[in-house]
Amino acid sequence: MLRRFSAFTLSVGVMSAVFVTGLYAADDGAADTLLRRAEESHVQGRYELAESLYREALSVHEQVAGNEPSGVIRILNGLTDLLHTQGREKEAETVCRRALDLGQSSLDPISPTLGFTLNYLGEIYRSTHRYVGAEPLYRRALAILEASLGPAHLWVGRVLNNLASLQVDTRHFDEAEKLFQRALEISEKFGGGDTSQVVIILNNIAVCAMERDRFAVAERNLLRAIRIRDALAERDDPALISVLETYSLLLRRTRRTSKAKQLDARIAFVREHSESPK
């Protein structure tokens, strides 16, 4: 099974909060402060606190800011991603559809905020195996973000990765490889080649290669992903676990069971420490 970039969504839902921050002008309002705290807690994996802060920010924004659409949608997008990260897809979809309805009725058709919402709904569709419905959502999100942020923006790379992952799910491997390659090139250029987004894309390229029994290609990408992740200063345990699990599977498929078991021990260690109180 493909390790999803959006499941980390990266739970890469963690990374989406980082990507969204900085695209908007900050204000000094209480809702904005609560949103920043919610995003920080989301990144740190403090999901219960993050959810409380997102909901509080939503309540304050609706009361104080007069339900100004773009601010409300930002909060709804963050809450959607948080719920999706936890596998609470029914709740996530309800929140996301509210954001989409509000966005389509109030935002510019090429607003990046609308693009983010469409991507999140695509992720929910994909995780609930509604592949036919997920693809147009991703493609519409991609078109909006390319138009509003530029074709080489990090968020464009993320959506390309998500669309490529969907192509793997539906066994369109040639298309998936092309999309992954473009996503990788964008992410390497934007982040210098040593970011968690690059790690996740390399992992997904490896999974695609494994589906085609191209084990040497898969291993080369996985080893590079592990080297990058080990060199990163920030802690990013979900990304590391995802890559290590993929590599363990590859080792078993290539009959290197002893090495796979050693890797399993490292996975268990990382998982145990990532679940420790922060």
Give the Cα separation of 75 and 70 in Å (integer). 9
Architecture of domain 13-274: Alpha Horseshoe (1.25)
Compute φ and ψ for 44, nearest 5 degrees.
-80, -5
Instruction: Give the C-alpha distances (Å, rounded to integers) separating 264 from 221, 247, 257.
Output: 19, 10, 10
Q: By C-alpha distance, which of 175, 136, 121, 100 is closest to 6?
A: 121
Q: How confident is the model at residue 63 (pLDDT cuts 50, 70, 90)?
A: confident
Kindly list the domain boundaries of the chain, sorted by start residue.
13-274
More confident residue, 78 or 61: 78
Q: Percent of the chain beyond pLDDT 90?
A: 71
pLDDT at 235: 66
Q: How confident is the model at residue 194 (pLDDT cuts 50, 70, 90)?
A: confident
pLDDT at 67: 59
pLDDT at 185: 95
Instruction: Give the C-alpha distances (Å, rounded to integers) separating 53 from 30, 73, 153.
Output: 11, 15, 28
> 80-93: buried (b, 16+ CB within 10 Å) or exposed (e) per residue?
bbbbbbeebbebbb
Mean pLDDT of 31-60: 92
Interval 161-188: pLDDT, tens = 999 999 999 999 999 999 999 999 999 9
CA triplet 20, 193, 36: central angle to 5 degrees? Answer: 20
Residue 275 in this model has a pLDDT that exceeds 70 = no
Interval 245-255: pLDDT, tens = 999 999 999 99
DSSP 3-state percent helix, strand, coil across the chain (nearest 5): 75, 0, 25
Instruction: Give pTM, 2 decimals.
Output: 0.86
pLDDT at 65: 53
Q: How confident is the model at residue 14 (pLDDT cuts 50, 70, 90)?
A: very low
| Of the listed ranges 50-54, 230-234, 257-261, the one predicted with least confidence | 230-234
Tell me, rounded to whole angstroms, the distance of Cα 274 from its chain centroid. Answer: 18
pLDDT at 66: 56
